[in-house]
């Protein structure tokens, strides 16, 4: 359903929101520059190496020389050839990082966009990391075309790259254009196009001196008609009727929107070759926001809602896909409007109910669960760091909204009189923990505030205080994101932090039944202290906790002091005997002695603790370590290396199976958490950048003797 005109007269059906996806150094940012230059949104081509591109506009991106943030650039396409004479098209490009550490930015871009350009360098081939990125698009059903870049580089070959693409991702990938040394051949229109940006010539194939093969065009036409399910056109084509470009362009749009057909376009961003053709494909054959209704919506109390209507006249439903801070403007929220109209200085409802969808308790640690009204600030379209104020944002628009003080990435913005919450996209869970503390005690409060701001801007990071180890732990997707966040604390918040070894929540228990006596008797000077208690400790099953049993007879321990013994035992359990909390034990208080004057609550607490220490030493201490259930995704070629490494990590491999994407394997294993602290970094190295994994707590298990000796020594030295 087409919506009404947007704020500058562009119909919703002529809005295109396109996310650029691909491995690092595939040319996504350069392609964004080429498209913007082709459309005269910029006057010269920026270079990543010079830090002069629209997309990589932050200081850290200029320093690193690659993208780490989702960047947005909106331009209006007015060229009649590109738009098919149907009027101006508002094009929003979302440039995403290609490194695994920043997959959260990629998923935000996939959420905001309606179609994707999957960018592949002809010199790099299809590796496991590229397959994982393709799977990210497939998981959300994202319609996409493939752009092949770097064809001007040595060893680049379009035909070889196309074969690799089809082998990896299926025969649904078909070229719309075929490159030649002096231009490109358009298979559908059967024309030859030469010249770069601003100097193109188009001639019929028979006049160009070269032609694409009939087999290539036939394969393309058949794929488009098949995937669009246009039976009428298929019958005419099989009957020998010539299929013109104008006759098949509607089928091309339908085939792309279905997500099973992926046109392939060769583009050289540096000289502009292929850019106009790509722009024409995007404007004429890519889906608009009017084609879909967006994510499922629910009432803030959990009740279901009708499907979203992508109309500017519907109740407002929008989502924050990115949060950032500007030194001059303040907090900025990048917002995709799915329904309704958003205006400056209007009261909106902000909802952040992520936990109700995931079913995972730990989500509460990294995203606020809130419902509140607030006023929206100025609304602007974006061109990298540049902001252009607009009067309103309608369904289908992607804009920057200022001064939403409480909105975080993933939050829903809706009509204050009809608040809803949309089902969130799948946020990646960080798997690299780092324990940090403020270098100066005076910075502790600043550190908490600084981390809160960074976490709001980077939802794939998580900050928790571990309840067992009491460490402040920053969880990230990898070393690159960690470096980025620590740099942000230092440069933006003025906070220096120290890194500490991450402690794993190891527990201890007793191996056998044993007796222990706690004797706390002091009679010299002042008020005396007298307490003696005899206990028996017994091991319980894993996870059964602690049980205290009173078996005193005859009043040897007065009733008022029995809770004191238990309190002392519990205090010693928290400290443990070998330096780790003791769990899964039963303590039976069987006897003791008291003094009518010198016994006290404090004395029996001390005696209880001493008794537990003696009994545990006699029984023998067994350390227990957490074991996680782990699913590892890695390229087929690297499974052997991963399995070998797992053997060195005391893992129990439960099996392997094919992953959802061809060329990838899933490894199922149980791995001690002690072996997973730096596993993200190791796995990426083993998988040549392709490895990823998820983990979930499974159980506690006994620590092997050689590991226990090491842990006991570390705990002892740490307490000295």
| Digit-coded pLDDT (tens) for 250-289 | 888 888 888 889 999 999 998 888 999 999 999 988 999 9
Which tops the pLDDT comparison, 429 or 718? 429
Residue 211 has pLDDT above 70, yes or no: no
Residue 55 forms part of a structural domain: yes
- What local confidence, expressed as pLDDT, does residue 353 receive? 59
The CATH number linked to 558 is: 3.30.230.10
pLDDT class for 460, splitting at 50, 70, 90? confident
- What local confidence, expressed as pLDDT, does residue 319 receive? 96
And the tokens for 25? Answer: 């150094």
Residue 692 has pLDDT above 70, yes or no: yes
Residue 412 forms part of a structural domain: yes
- What local confidence, expressed as pLDDT, does residue 234 receive? 78
Residue 429 forms part of a structural domain: no
How is residue 154 annotated by DSSP? T
Query: Is there a single domain that holds both residue 268 and residue 325?
Result: no
Query: Is there a single domain that holds both residue 231 and residue 133?
Result: yes
pLDDT class for 342, splitting at 50, 70, 90? very high
pLDDT tens per residue, range 192-207: 877 665 566 777 766 5
Q: What count of other Cβ atoms lies within 10 Å of the Cβ of residue 356?
A: 15
Query: Is there a single domain that holds both residue 355 and residue 408?
Result: yes
CA 476, chain centre distance (Å):
10
Residue 662 has pLDDT above 70, yes or no: yes
Residue 644 has pLDDT above 90, yes or no: yes
Query: Is there a single domain that holds both residue 334 and residue 215?
Result: no
The Cα–Cα gap between 71 and 334 comes to 10
Mean pLDDT score, 582-589: 96
Q: What percent of the chain has pLDDT over 90?
A: 56
> 577 with 712: CB under 8 angstroms?
no
Query: Is there a single domain that holds both residue 112 and residue 66?
Result: yes
Which tops the pLDDT comparison, 282 or 154? 282
The Cα–Cα gap between 693 and 310 comes to 36
Residue 433 forms part of a structural domain: no
* Of the listed ranges 36-40, 65-69, 140-144, the one predicted with least confidence: 65-69
The Cα–Cα gap between 580 and 574 comes to 8
Query: Is there a single domain that holds both residue 390 and residue 482?
Result: no
The CATH number linked to 640 is: 3.30.70.240
And the tokens for 26? Answer: 């595939």
Mean pLDDT score, 38-67: 87
Mean pLDDT score, 153-158: 89
The CATH number linked to 122 is: 3.40.50.300
Contacts by residues 381-390 (CB-CB < 8 Å, ≥ 24 positions apart): 381/74, 381/92, 382/72, 382/73, 382/74, 382/334, 383/36, 383/41, 383/54, 383/73, 383/74, 383/75, 384/53, 384/54, 384/55, 384/57, 384/71, 384/72, 384/73, 385/57, 385/58, 387/329, 390/7, 390/8
The Cα–Cα gap between 282 and 459 comes to 30
Residue 30 forms part of a structural domain: yes
- What local confidence, expressed as pLDDT, does residue 313 receive? 92
pLDDT class for 327, splitting at 50, 70, 90? low
Residue 644 forms part of a structural domain: yes
- What local confidence, expressed as pLDDT, does residue 714 receive? 61
- What local confidence, expressed as pLDDT, does residue 436 receive? 95
Q: Which of 476, 500, 524 finishes a domain? A: 500
How is residue 362 annotated by DSSP? G
Query: Average pLDDT, whole number, for the chain?
Result: 88
Q: How many domains does the chain have?
A: 5
pLDDT tens per residue, range 604-617: 999 999 999 999 99
pLDDT tens per residue, range 497-521: 999 999 999 999 999 999 999 999 9
Q: Which of 62-66, 292-296, 327-331, 336-340 has the highest mean pLDDT?
A: 336-340
Residue 483 has pLDDT above 60, yes or no: yes
- What local confidence, expressed as pLDDT, does residue 354 receive? 53
Residue 8 has pLDDT above 70, yes or no: no
Query: Is there a single domain that holds both residue 208 and residue 274?
Result: yes
Residue 307 forms part of a structural domain: yes
- Give Dmax over CA atoms of the chain in angstroms: 116
The CATH number linked to 329 is: 2.40.30.10
Domain with 177 in it: 12-291
Residue 355 has pLDDT above 60, yes or no: no
Mean pLDDT score, 567-583: 94
- What local confidence, expressed as pLDDT, does residue 1 receive? 35
Q: Which of 291, 314, 330 finishes a domain? A: 291
Helices 245-258 and 231-238, packing angle to 10 deg: 130
Query: Is there a single domain that holds both residue 575 and residue 711?
Result: no
- What local confidence, expressed as pLDDT, does residue 364 receive? 39
Q: What percent of the chain has pLDDT over 70?
A: 92
23's CB contacts (< 8 A; 6+ apart) are 98, 120, 121, 124, 127, 129, 130, 133
Q: Which of 601, 619, 637 finishes a domain? A: 619
Query: Is there a single domain that holds both residue 576 and residue 687?
Result: no
Residue 522 forms part of a structural domain: yes
Mapping DSSP onto H, E and C, the string for 99-160 reads CHHHHHHHHHHHHHCCEEEEEEECCCCCCHHHHHHHHHHHHCCCCEEEEEECCCCCCCCHHH
Rounded to 10 degrees, the C-alpha dihedral 257/263/269/271 comes to: -130
pLDDT class for 445, splitting at 50, 70, 90? confident
Mean pLDDT score, 179-191: 83
Cα angle value 12/114/249 (rounded, 5°): 75
- What local confidence, expressed as pLDDT, does residue 486 receive? 92
Mean pLDDT score, 335-357: 84
> 74 with 90: CB under 8 angstroms?
yes
- What local confidence, expressed as pLDDT, does residue 322 receive? 94
Query: Is there a single domain that holds both residue 268 and residue 195?
Result: yes
Mode of pairing for the β-strands spanning 432-438 and 472-476: antiparallel
pTM: predicted TM-score of the whole model, two decimal places: 0.86
- What local confidence, expressed as pLDDT, does residue 169 receive? 92
pLDDT tens per residue, range 447-458: 988 888 888 788
Query: Is there a single domain that holds both residue 411 and residue 538?
Result: no
Mean pLDDT score, 235-244: 78
Query: Is there a single domain that holds both residue 481 and residue 411?
Result: no
Residue 369 has pLDDT above 90, yes or no: no
**β-bridge partners, 516:** 535
CA 302, chain centre distance (Å):
25
Nearest one of 359, 361, 464, 462 to 408, comparing CA atoms: 462
- What local confidence, expressed as pLDDT, does residue 56 receive? 86
The Cα–Cα gap between 177 and 181 comes to 13
- What local confidence, expressed as pLDDT, does residue 208 receive? 46
């Amino acid at each position: 359903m087409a919506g009404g005109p947007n704020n500058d007269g562009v119909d919703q059906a002529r809005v295109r929101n396109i996310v650029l996806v691909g491995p690092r150094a595939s040319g996504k940012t350069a392609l964004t520059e080429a498209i913007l230059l082709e459309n005269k949104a910029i006057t010269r081509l920026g270079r990543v190496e010079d830090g002069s591109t629209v997309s990589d506009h932050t200081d850290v991106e200029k320093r690193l020389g690659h993208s780490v943030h989702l960047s947005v650039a909106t331009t209006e396409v007015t060229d009649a050839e590109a738009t098919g004479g149907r009027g101006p098209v508002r094009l929003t490009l979302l440039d995403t990082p290609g490194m695994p550490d920043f997959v959260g930015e990629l998923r935000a871009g996939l959420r905001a966009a309606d179609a994707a350009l999957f960018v592949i360098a002809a010199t790099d081939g299809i590796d496991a990391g590229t397959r994982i990125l393709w799977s990210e698009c497939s998981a959300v059903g994202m319609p996409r075309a493939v752009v092949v870049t770097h064809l001007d580089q040595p060893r680049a070959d379009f035909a070889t790259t196309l074969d690799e693409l089809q082998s990896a991702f299926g025969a649904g990938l078909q070229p719309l254009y075929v490159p030649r040394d002096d231009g490109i051949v358009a298979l559908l229109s059967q024309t030859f196009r030469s010249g770069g940006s601003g100097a193109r010539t188009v001639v019929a194939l028979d006049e160009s001196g070269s032609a694409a093969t009939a087999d290539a065009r036939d394969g393309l036409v058949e794929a488009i008609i098949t995937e669009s399910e246009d039976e009428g056109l298929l019958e005419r084509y099989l009957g020998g009727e010539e299929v013109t470009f104008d006759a098949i362009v509607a089928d091309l749009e339908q085939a792309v929107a279905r997500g099973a057909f992926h046109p392939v376009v060769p583009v050289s961003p540096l000289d502009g070759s292929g850019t106009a053709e790509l722009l024409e494909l995007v404007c004429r054959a890519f889906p608009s926001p009017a084609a879909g209704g967006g994510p499922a919506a629910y009432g803030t109390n959990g009740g279901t809602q009708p499907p979203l209507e992508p109309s500017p006249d519907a109740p407002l439903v929008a989502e924050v896909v990115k949060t950032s801070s500007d030194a001059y403007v303040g907090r900025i929220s990048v917002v995709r409007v799915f329904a309704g109209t958003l205006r400056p200085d209007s009261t909106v409802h902000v909802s952040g109910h992520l936990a109700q969808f995931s079913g995972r308790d730990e989500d509460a640690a990294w995203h606020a669960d809130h419902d509140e009204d607030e006023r929206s600030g100025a609304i602007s379209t974006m061109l990298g760091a540049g902001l252009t104020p607009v009067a309103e944002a309608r369904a289908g628009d992607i804009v920057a909204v200022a001064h939403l003080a409480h909105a975080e990435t993933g939050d829903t913005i809706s009509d204050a009189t009809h608040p809803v919450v949309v089902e969130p996209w799948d946020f990646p869970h960080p798997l690299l923990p780092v324990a940090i503390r403020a270098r100066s005690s005076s910075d502790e409060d600043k550190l908490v505030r600084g981390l809160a701001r960074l976490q709001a801007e980077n939802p794939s990071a998580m900050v928790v205080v571990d309840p067992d180890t009491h460490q402040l732990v920053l969880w990230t997707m990898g070393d690159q994101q960690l470096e980025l966040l620590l740099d942000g604390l230092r440069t933006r918040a003025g906070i220096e932090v120290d890194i500490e070894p991450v402690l794993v929540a190891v527990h201890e228990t007793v191996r056998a039944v044993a007796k222990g006596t706690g004797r706390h008797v002091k009679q010299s000077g002042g008020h005396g202290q007298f307490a003696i208690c005899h206990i028996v400790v017994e091991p319980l099953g894993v996870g059964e906790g602690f049980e205290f049993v009173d078996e005193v007879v005859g009043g040897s321990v007065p009733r008022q002091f029995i809770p004191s013994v238990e309190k002392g035992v519990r205090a010693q359990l928290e400290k443990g005997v070998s330096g780790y909390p003791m769990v899964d034990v039963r303590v039976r208080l069987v006897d003791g002695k008291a003094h009518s004057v010198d016994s006290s609550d404090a004395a029996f607490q001390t005696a209880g603790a001493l008794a537990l220490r003696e009994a545990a030493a006699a029984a023998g201490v067994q350390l227990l370590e957490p074991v996680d259930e782990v699913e590892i995704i890695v390229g087929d070629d690297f499974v052997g290396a991963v399995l070998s490494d797992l053997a060195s990590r005391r893992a129990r491999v439960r099996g392997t199976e094919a992953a959802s994407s061809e060329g990838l394997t899933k490894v199922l294993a149980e791995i001690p958490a002690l072996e997973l602290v730096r596993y993200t970094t190791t796995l990426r190295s083993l998988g040549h950048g392709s490895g990823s994994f998820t983990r979930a707590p499974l159980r506690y298990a006994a620590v092997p003797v050689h590991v226990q000796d090491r842990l006991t020594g570390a705990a002892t030295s740490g307490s000295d």
